[in-house]
Amino acid sequence: MKRRDFITSSLIAGGLISVGSLGCTSKRETDQVVPDGVVVEPARQIPVLAKTDVLVVGGGPAGVAAAIAASRAGAETYLVERYNHLGGLWTGGLVLPLLSTHGTGKNGERKQVIHGIGGEMAERLLKMGMAIREVNPVVDPEAAKYVLDEMIVDAGVKVLYHTWGANVIKEDNTIKGVFVESKSGRQAILAKVVIDCTGDGDIYNWCGESFDEMKYHIGLVHRLGNTDRVDSSAPGFKKIYLGDETPNPSVRWYNMHGEDEQCGTDMLNLSRLQQKYRMEIWKNTENIRKQPGYEQVYLLDTASQLGVRASRILDGEYRLTLEDTMTFKSFNDAIGVSGAWTTMLYKGKRVEIKDRPYWQIPYRSLLPKKTDCLIVAGRCFCFEKALVEDTRIIGTCLITGHGAGAAAALAVKQNVKPRDIDRKALRKLLINQNVWLG
Amino acid sequence: MYGWVKNFVKKNLRTIFFVLVFFLSLPIEWGILQGIYLWLSPNIVINRLMAQQGLIFVQVFSFIVLWICIKRKRWFCHSLCPLGWCFHIVKWKKTRKNSIFKNIKGGEIVALFSIGLSLGGVSLLLIFDPLVILRTFFSGWILPVSICGALWSSFFLLLLILNLFLPYFWCNHICPLGGMQDLAVGLSKEPVVLFSRRNTLVLLAGWIIGYLFTDKIKIKEEKTILRPPSARKGSVFYTSCLRCGNCVDVCPTSIIQLDQSLDNFLSWQTPLLNYSKGYCLSDCVKCGQVCPGGALAPFSIKDKKYMLIGMAQLDLRACLLTQNKECDRCKSVCDYEAISIVHELLKSQIHIDNEKCVGCNACVLICPQNAIKVLAV
């Protein structure tokens, strides 16, 4: 090829490429970027990662209980978890106490109400010496992560760590599966029944279910180390708060009430809080270390996730009310019983913790109104806002999770929609799985 | 059959009414019906009007009663008055029903004087109204019974004893309700009667005395006593309260009690709040609805956030948030949005907005630490 030819051909080619690329970009811009700050995502084909019976999104206390219950009942189960551990706020969130394990019966007797998978977890941790107290135990987070992993593996649940649920796959009003996003890119998992254990109700939000938005206080828990190496004989020593007891003698966990009335699903807000809290915690620890006698205390860790206590609350088939929890209301489709951990006002009177009745949770509170084949468990199921203090608690999440998992497995087995499962069979299955139904 | 029933009712109307009064006075949850018969007395209504306390719609009934009384002489006494029924039962001398109201004298003056007092702002003579006398008799036995209650209710027993010796003396010569009926009959015939020398003098005397009473006599108000939400301030409260106990019976959370301390005579048997086991519900307006004398003004749910009962005060040292424990119970139950939680450097603190707090006691009641108190203002 002559030099001139080469130049002209390359020029022509270059021109063509540039024209082509220009055309391409301008076309994509008009297609994807819509003027009012929205982008259109082009349709694409997503590989199906798996087809399964039951898919649990979210590996917190509710998700783990749901996955184990479903798998033990004979359904093939997948669990999707965004972090590298199970247990959600209980372990990674460092909210260590498992509250509401006990409730008061009709004759005023106080008894354990959380059995089943949740009870099993607490029992195992107690046996390992990694929990203090039998009533409302405080656990070691690493031990809890280990126990949950062990139980999940034993039950044969397939876990996808580091994976986010990204959207739902829906046909009419039936959920067919969930898109997940991870380092492997976007993938789809198809399932006969999906259990929404995201805590914030992401799945039912994507399904278009209606819900209440609750703005509540959001905190960030941290732990302090060397809390047993405080020198109380130092001159000028003053007792200061270092957090609450954990199974580890040198470690205390430090809870934070946090800013009030915060939106738990707004990422910008959550990021702001995260940064603010981390700085506050560091500053506070520095202040502690400056006190005479406290020099060796250090910041062990901050929680891997913010303590979002309540966000979306489902508008489901039945709204559990404060009255239900105060009057021993009995449901024919009860999936479990939970206890209480704080005082409450009812009909103008104060009800002490020790007098708070245990309360049944009905299966229909876990069912969304429109979407089929979706069950909701964890702190975002359907209840009255006045109840939030009791429903958002880890104990209650374990109960709703277990119920949802068992119901999902039953729906697969009976080949019906979760809405239509035989309530008697559900009751039998739950009792077989050692759940106490009151 | 119908005629028989009609006859029976006609003959025994007063007995039936007494039975009704008896049951509506029992401390059973009658709701708005509690002591509703008090509204039937034209005496109470007219005095309340004169004292400018405002009316509520059930009082329309009393005007119907007054109208019948103008048509038929002393109709109320013959057909409704439960006190008259009691007098009829408790007496030695046999008296025929028709010969009861003879030699009527004096009632008119008492009624006029009472109206005069009310014009001056003191509707205190209402406690002589027969329905009120009966109601206070019953309210005296609202548990726990105290000396004040027993003394108040003993007035009824005293009248019964008086009746043994002087049958119907009270009805003929003192009863302001009876007097008011006579007055109404007289006025309907000759409206000029009101301006006769005697009547004008009595009215003026009552008015002046009432005026002086409210103005000069300052009642020592105890700053520690919490009153129901719409309680009137100052001496008006003490003079317009009939001590009937309607508000006590109607309160759904049983926080209203009668004052049983003997210290202040004027405060005997008046309603006050006992916050130890309940709080004032934000959606309840019952006490204002059942108050016949107007000591508790009627109010709507919307008004409730402006009705100051007291002021919540927080002991920060006892608050769980100060101890870095998680708690928002008080905020969760505050219906007036008076409580906020301020976060700063890991610490959260409860802040009570004095502008919005009405002192309903909900936060006090739910606080696991008993860190809040409601103080009278």
Specify the length of chain B in residues: 377
Q: Please determine, for residue B372, whether its predicted confidence score (pLDDT) is greater than 90.
A: yes
- The minimum CA-CA distance between A258 and chain B, rounded to whole Å, is 6
Residues of chain A with Cβ-Cβ distance to B366 below 8 Å are: 343-345, 350
Note whether A389 contacts B329, CB cutoff 8 Å: yes
Contacts of residue A368, Cβ cutoff 8 Å, sequence gap at least 6: A204, A207, A209, A314, A315, A316, A317, A374, A376
Interface of B with A (CB under 8 A): 252-253, 255, 277-279, 281, 321, 323-329, 331-333, 340-343, 345-346, 348, 362, 365-368
Interface mutation vs chain B, best among A254, A269, A341, A342, most B CBs within 10 Å: A342
| Predicted pLDDT at A304 | 93
- Tell me which amino acid residue A395 is: G
| Predicted pLDDT at A334 | 95
Interface mutation vs chain B, best among A100, A253, A255, A257, most B CBs within 10 Å: A257
Note whether B365 contacts A349, CB cutoff 8 Å: yes
Q: Please determine, for residue B216, whether its predicted confidence score (pLDDT) is greater than 60.
A: no
Name which of B253, B278, B348 is nearest A257 (Cβ-Cβ): B348
Note whether A257 contacts B343, CB cutoff 8 Å: yes
Contacts of residue A381, Cβ cutoff 8 Å, sequence gap at least 6: A313, A314, A316, A320, A365, A366, A391, A400
Note whether A344 contacts B366, CB cutoff 8 Å: yes
Who has greater pLDDT, A137 or A25?
Answer: A137
- Segment B287-309 shows an average pLDDT of 87
**Which range, A6-20, A92-106, A363-377, is most confident?**
A363-377
Reported ipTM: the value is: 0.80
DSSP per-residue codes, B115-159: HHHHHTT--GGGGGSHHHHHHHHHHTTSSSP-HHHHHHHHHHHHH
- Which residues numbered 197-226 in A keep a CB inside 8 Å of some CB on B? 217, 219
Interface mutation vs chain B, best among A309, A326, A345, most B CBs within 10 Å: A345
Residues of chain B with Cβ-Cβ distance to A259 below 8 Å are: 343
Q: Please determine, for residue A146, whether its predicted confidence score (pLDDT) is greater than 90.
A: yes
| Predicted pLDDT at B219 | 59
Cα gap B190→B194, rounded to integer Å: 8
Note whether A349 contacts B321, CB cutoff 8 Å: no
By C-alpha distance, which of A414, A438, A304 is closest to A362? A438
Residues of chain A with Cβ-Cβ distance to B255 below 8 Å are: 348
- Segment B309-323 shows an average pLDDT of 91
| Predicted pLDDT at B218 | 58
Note whether B368 contacts A353, CB cutoff 8 Å: yes
Residues of chain A with Cβ-Cβ distance to B277 below 8 Å are: 349-350
Note whether B345 contacts A280, CB cutoff 8 Å: yes
Is the CB of residue A300 less than 8 Å from the CB of residue A229?
A: no
Name which of B278, B341, B367 is nearest A260 (Cβ-Cβ): B341
DSSP per-residue codes, A260-313: EEE-TT-HHHHHHHHHHHHHHHHHHHHHHHHSTT-TT-EEEEE-SS-EE---EE
Name which of B345, B346, B362 is nearest A345 (Cβ-Cβ): B362
Residue A9 dihedral angles phi and psi, to the nearest 5°: -65, -40
By C-alpha distance, which of A53, A59, A51, A49 is closest to A408? A53
Work out the burial of residue B154: count CB atoms within 10 Å of its CB; fewer than 13 is exposed, 13-18 middle, 19 or more buried. Answer: middle
pLDDT band of B86, cuts 50, 70, 90: confident
In chain B, the percentage of residues whose pLDDT exceeds 90 is 14
Who has greater pLDDT, A4 or A182?
Answer: A182
Q: Sign of the C-alpha dihedral, residues A380, A368, A86, A426? A: positive
pTM of the model: 0.83
Cα gap B260→B146, rounded to integer Å: 6
Tell me how many residue pairs between chain A and chain B have CB atoms under 8 A apart. Answer: 72
| Predicted pLDDT at B350 | 93
Interface mutation vs chain B, best among A343, A354, A387, most B CBs within 10 Å: A343
Residues of chain A with Cβ-Cβ distance to B333 below 8 Å are: 345
In chain A, the percentage of residues whose pLDDT exceeds 90 is 82
DSSP per-residue codes, B272-284: EE-TTS----TT-
Task: Share the mean pLDDT of chain A.
Answer: 91
Cα gap A157→B80, rounded to integer Å: 81
Q: State both tokens at B291.
A: 């108050």
pLDDT band of A87, cuts 50, 70, 90: very high
Does A239 contact chain B (CB < 8 Å)? no
Does A284 contact chain B (CB < 8 Å)? yes
| Predicted pLDDT at A30 | 54
Q: Which residues pair with A350 in a beta bridge?
A: A345
Residues of chain A with Cβ-Cβ distance to B326 below 8 Å are: 219, 255, 257
Does A389 contact chain B (CB < 8 Å)? yes
Could you tell me the CA-to-CA distances from A54 to A70, A72, A189, A341 in Å, in that order? 7, 12, 10, 32
Name which of A217, A243, A342 is nearest B368 (Cβ-Cβ): A342
Name which of B342, B348, B365 is nearest A345 (Cβ-Cβ): B365
In chain A, the percentage of residues whose pLDDT exceeds 70 is 92
Interface mutation vs chain A, best among B251, B326, B342, most A CBs within 10 Å: B326
Q: Please determine, for residue A25, whether its predicted confidence score (pLDDT) is greater than 50.
A: no
| Predicted pLDDT at B238 | 83
Q: State both tokens at B316.
A: 């920060």
Residues of chain B with Cβ-Cβ distance to A219 below 8 Å are: 326
Does A384 contact chain B (CB < 8 Å)? no
Cα gap B251→B366, rounded to integer Å: 19
**Which range, A344-353, A392-401, B48-57, B221-230, is most confident?**
A392-401
- The minimum CA-CA distance between A183 and chain B, rounded to whole Å, is 35
- Segment A242-268 shows an average pLDDT of 93
pLDDT band of B362, cuts 50, 70, 90: very high
Note whether A260 contacts B362, CB cutoff 8 Å: no
Name which of B281, B326, B365 is nearest A350 (Cβ-Cβ): B365
Note whether A343 contacts B367, CB cutoff 8 Å: yes
B144 preceded by cis ω (within 30°)?
A: yes
DSSP per-residue codes, B50-68: HTT----GGGHHHHHHHHH
pLDDT band of B358, cuts 50, 70, 90: very high
Note whether B345 contacts A283, CB cutoff 8 Å: yes
- The minimum CA-CA distance between B368 and chain A, rounded to whole Å, is 6
Q: State both tokens at A294.
A: 């406290």
pLDDT band of A31, cuts 50, 70, 90: low
Does A3 contact chain B (CB < 8 Å)? no
SS3 B270: coil
Name which of A255, A349, A386 is nearest B277 (Cβ-Cβ): A349
